[in-house]
Structure 1
């Protein structure tokens, strides 16, 4: 049980680090006229598509939104605005809760009928587009240890390749099997997080929380100390500016860590940032300064490589959705971060537990229909569809209710927030 709690602390610290990156990237984009112009140009084909459809056109040219693979996916007004809503909710969770909201994107897209592999590829592309547009990498280069970063990328790119190949293989074998696999992964991850997040919230109400008492970032965690004591060439030196002579660790551990991050990123459709931070700080004993720089570095390359080489090239990226999610998340993360200034921390923990639990319930209720479709369990199609619908209703009710609450708090405290800004 103690190991599970420690693992939960690690995941939360990683999710918080990813949320900080997301907020900084979104702020960088919104404050730059050049980046906003790039965003407008990316959205222009979608806007043209909307005008063409509204005018009663028969369809769009393939390059502007045709239905063939290797091109932007087809456009409908409903799909585009739904994607903005999904991105907005994910951004609100990221900004308000201070933890990555990407864990609701794939479940949300799958709930409205998007195939799991397409949801994963689209989420990765959305992360990559945000990372490239935000491009805060140059501000952190001084904190990157090049040898650590390159060695880690060897593992993450290998893992992303394996994860992408696995998802595509399962999809080619049977699309329902592919959805079942991705759904099962989310059920496991979100179920684990939901259990401990709810326990953390309940204990916080009593004055003690699971996240309290976790190791300080600048201290070497016990696991990191053990791994650094193993002399297995080639050895990499890092953190010379923090420890005289620096610290050393075997390149093998970096490759293995990257493999895990890349595999998770490609299978779940996440940037991998929520795993990189805890693995580096708690697992490898790398300082938080070096970790932050390397984390940003790997997000750009891991998400970029995964989304393009493993999904986009095979037609598994829904560009209309990706751009809508990008637009929604940019707005949501800013509003969410402002709301934290007028909301008690205990309430934020409660909403984190609620959001994760909603994602878990959504995917858990979707499992029977997938299992029935493959003949693994004997229930009627109607029963499976009803359970899936119930999961969707509970999920969107919870996430939609959270979004309404955030906007209510934001607008009712607008004057107070303006005063604090100035």
Structure 2
């Protein structure tokens, strides 16, 4: 069954869209990521224009993240205080990101920027996560106790706050900066930023893995929601028909993912996420290097 998308101006298979939404929802519930790092490239592969894929992908992330965070709230694995600090930085970053997105759109460079940003960020984050997760798996198999986390420069910063759910007493500056960085990425790449936020929360802020997933989803809801509103009112690239189809699958998938994630060890979750990130990065890099099917595209500008 073909579904016509009025803003994207293409027809796509409805069953395929529902399946993509469900898969991304499962990832959201399992890993604490909005799933934008996967859904936006998948929309590229289906022929959706990058500008529409970015804005509409952010819309779908809101729904799947709400569904996922509800499941984690029941398990009390959400640090609301940490999530609020991350959110404060995220709102500022998303406003800056939308401004930058609009500027590049006017220059006609936004499509290339989005694809290159995905390849660079996914490659770096995926590689770091993969090798660290392998080391963690080896330690767990050998029975060696993990090294105690050393105090680094982050712990010496001022404006310290106590985050009881995470068992932390650290400066509010690093969470604000992490949130702002994720906000910029949400606007430019159409992602919730979970694929960067989750590693940053674990390795930079030192949060326990059990509360990282739910806290990440909590912050993602508001940042991607704010980003969607900004895109809808400024760039007008949000396709509501596409968003609704993706949301239907995403909400169901997030509940399934939260259940699956609770049955896996932290090291297994991280290595699965890293493998997925690297696979998407490889596919996008390959598409940039290969000769496109259409060498020329005619675009009408106002």
CA distance in 2 between counterparts of 1:327 and 1:164 reads 26
CA distance in 1 between counterparts of 2:57 and 2:113 reads 17
**CA distance 1:236–1:180, shift in 2 (3 Å):** same
**Structure-1 residue corresponding to 2:164:** 239
**CA distance 1:99–1:308, shift in 2 (3 Å):** closer
Residue from 69, 73, 83 that aligns with 2:17: 83
Higher RCO (CA-CA < 8 Å; seq separation 6+): 2
Residue from 339, 354, 366 that aligns with 2:287: 366
- Alignment length, in residue pairs? 282
Moved more, 280-289 or 262-271: 280-289
**What are the residue-to-residue correspondences of 1:29-108 with 2, within 5 Å?**
67=6, 73=7, 78-91=12-25, 102-108=36-42
Q: CA shift at 1:182, angstroms?
A: 0.6
Normalising by structure 1, what TM-score?
Answer: 0.54
Moved more, 268-277 or 295-304: 268-277
Q: CA shift at 1:178, angstroms?
A: 0.6
**CA distance 1:306–1:291, shift in 2 (3 Å):** same
Q: What do you get for the CA RMSD once the two structures are aligned?
A: 4.5
CA distance in 1 between counterparts of 2:202 and 2:251 reads 28
CA distance in 1 between counterparts of 2:212 and 2:273 reads 28
Residue from 132, 144, 153 that aligns with 2:79: 144
1:180 aligns with 2:101: no
Give secondary structure in 1 for the equivalent of 2:162: strand
**Structure-1 residue corresponding to 2:298:** none
Residue from 87, 110, 116 that aligns with 1:153: 87
- 5+ residue gaps, structure 2: 296-302
**Structure-2 residue corresponding to 1:420:** none
Give secondary structure in 2 for the equivalent of 1:317: coil
**Structure-1 residue corresponding to 2:170:** 249
Q: CA shift at 1:336, angstroms?
A: 11
CA distance in 2 between counterparts of 1:163 and 1:127 reads 17
**CA distance 1:290–1:298, shift in 2 (3 Å):** same
Normalising by structure 2, what TM-score?
Answer: 0.71
**CA distance 1:368–1:77, shift in 2 (3 Å):** closer
Asked whether the equivalents of residues 86 and 325 of structure 1 are also in contact (C-alpha less than 8 Å), the reply is yes
Q: CA shift at 1:128, angstroms?
A: 0.8
CA distance in 2 between counterparts of 1:199 and 1:230 reads 28
User: Quick check: which one's helix share is greater?
Assistant: 1
Name which one, 1 or 2, has greater alpha-carbon Rg: 1
**CA distance 1:331–1:240, shift in 2 (3 Å):** closer
Asked whether the equivalents of residues 93 and 182 of structure 2 are also in contact (C-alpha less than 8 Å), the reply is yes
- 5+ residue gaps, structure 1: 1-46, 54-64, 68-72, 201-207, 370-382, 388-422
1:266 aligns with 2:198: no
Residue from 305, 315, 327 that aligns with 2:226: 305
Asked whether the equivalents of residues 74 and 320 of structure 1 are also in contact (C-alpha less than 8 Å), the reply is no
Give secondary structure in 2 for the equivalent of 1:113: coil
**CA distance 1:138–1:90, shift in 2 (3 Å):** closer
Asked whether the equivalents of residues 52 and 238 of structure 2 are also in contact (C-alpha less than 8 Å), the reply is yes
CA distance in 1 between counterparts of 2:131 and 2:157 reads 39
CA distance in 2 between counterparts of 1:327 and 1:264 reads 25
Asked whether the equivalents of residues 123 and 269 of structure 1 are also in contact (C-alpha less than 8 Å), the reply is yes
